[in-house]
Protein backbone atom coordinates (compact mmCIF):
# COMPACT_ATOMS: atom_id res chain seq x y z
CA UNK A 1 0.00 0.00 0.00
CA UNK A 2 1.54 3.25 -1.15
CA UNK A 3 1.03 6.58 0.54
CA UNK A 4 -1.38 8.92 -1.23
CA UNK A 5 -1.68 11.61 1.46
CA UNK A 6 0.87 14.43 1.47
CA UNK A 7 2.25 16.37 4.44
CA UNK A 8 -0.07 19.37 4.18
CA UNK A 9 -3.06 17.08 3.67
CA UNK A 10 -2.06 15.14 6.82
CA UNK A 11 -1.88 18.33 8.87
CA UNK A 12 -5.31 19.46 7.68
CA UNK A 13 -6.82 16.01 8.27
CA UNK A 14 -5.36 15.85 11.78
CA UNK A 15 -6.79 19.24 12.71
CA UNK A 16 -10.22 18.38 11.24
CA UNK A 17 -10.25 14.99 12.97
CA UNK A 18 -9.52 16.50 16.39
CA UNK A 19 -12.15 19.21 15.90
CA UNK A 20 -14.76 16.59 14.93
CA UNK A 21 -13.87 14.28 17.85
CA UNK A 22 -13.92 17.06 20.44
CA UNK A 23 -17.08 18.60 18.97
CA UNK A 24 -18.79 15.20 19.15
CA UNK A 25 -18.29 15.24 22.91
CA UNK A 26 -20.53 18.30 23.14
CA UNK A 27 -22.84 17.55 20.21
CA UNK A 28 -23.17 13.84 20.86
CA UNK A 29 -23.98 11.24 18.28
CA UNK A 30 -21.68 9.23 16.10
CA UNK A 31 -19.53 12.08 14.80
CA UNK A 32 -16.59 10.72 16.80
CA UNK A 33 -16.46 7.70 14.47
CA UNK A 34 -15.96 9.99 11.45
CA UNK A 35 -13.19 11.83 13.29
CA UNK A 36 -11.48 8.57 14.22
CA UNK A 37 -11.67 7.27 10.63
CA UNK A 38 -10.12 10.51 9.34
CA UNK A 39 -7.41 10.26 11.99
CA UNK A 40 -6.67 6.61 11.08
CA UNK A 41 -6.27 7.47 7.38
CA UNK A 42 -3.89 10.22 8.45
CA UNK A 43 -1.82 7.86 10.58
CA UNK A 44 -1.46 5.18 7.90
CA UNK A 45 -1.02 7.77 5.13
CA UNK A 46 -3.46 6.11 2.74
CA UNK A 47 -6.99 7.16 1.87
CA UNK A 48 -9.28 4.62 0.18
CA UNK A 49 -11.36 7.38 -1.45
CA UNK A 50 -8.21 8.89 -2.99
CA UNK A 51 -7.21 5.42 -4.20
CA UNK A 52 -10.64 4.87 -5.74
CA UNK A 53 -10.31 8.03 -7.84
CA UNK A 54 -6.54 7.61 -8.34
CA UNK A 55 -5.76 10.85 -6.52
CA UNK A 56 -2.66 11.68 -4.55
CA UNK A 57 -1.47 14.74 -2.66
CA UNK A 58 2.10 13.51 -2.29
CA UNK A 59 4.88 15.16 -4.23
CA UNK A 60 5.70 11.88 -5.94
CA UNK A 61 2.69 11.61 -8.24
CA UNK A 62 4.20 8.53 -9.91
CA UNK A 63 3.41 6.39 -6.85
CA UNK A 64 -0.04 5.46 -8.14
CA UNK A 65 0.57 3.48 -11.31
CA UNK A 66 -1.60 4.27 -14.32
CA UNK A 67 -4.22 1.80 -15.50
CA UNK A 68 -2.43 -0.45 -17.98
CA UNK A 69 -5.14 -3.03 -18.41
CA UNK A 70 -6.09 -1.61 -21.82
CA UNK A 71 -9.79 -1.48 -20.96
CA UNK A 72 -9.96 2.30 -21.05
CA UNK A 73 -8.02 3.12 -24.18
CA UNK A 74 -9.60 5.81 -26.31
CA UNK A 75 -11.40 4.69 -29.41
CA UNK A 76 -9.76 5.77 -32.58
CA UNK A 77 -11.84 6.86 -35.48
CA UNK A 78 -10.81 7.21 -39.10
CA UNK A 79 -7.67 9.23 -39.63
CA UNK A 80 -7.78 12.42 -41.63
CA UNK A 81 -4.89 13.66 -43.64
CA UNK A 82 -3.72 17.13 -42.76
CA UNK A 83 -2.75 19.39 -45.66
pLDDT of residue 62: 47
Q: Mean pLDDT in the chain? A: 83
Tens-place pLDDT, residues 14-47:
999 999 999 998 888 889 999 999 999 999 999 9
Quickly state the pLDDT bin for 67 (edges 50, 70, 90): low
**Do residues 17 and 42 make contact, with C-beta atoms less than 8 angstroms apart?**
yes
74-81 CB contacts, 8 Å cutoff, 24+ apart: none
Amino acid sequence: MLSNIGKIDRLIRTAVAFVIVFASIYIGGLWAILGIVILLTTIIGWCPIYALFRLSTTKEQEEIPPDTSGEHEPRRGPRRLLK
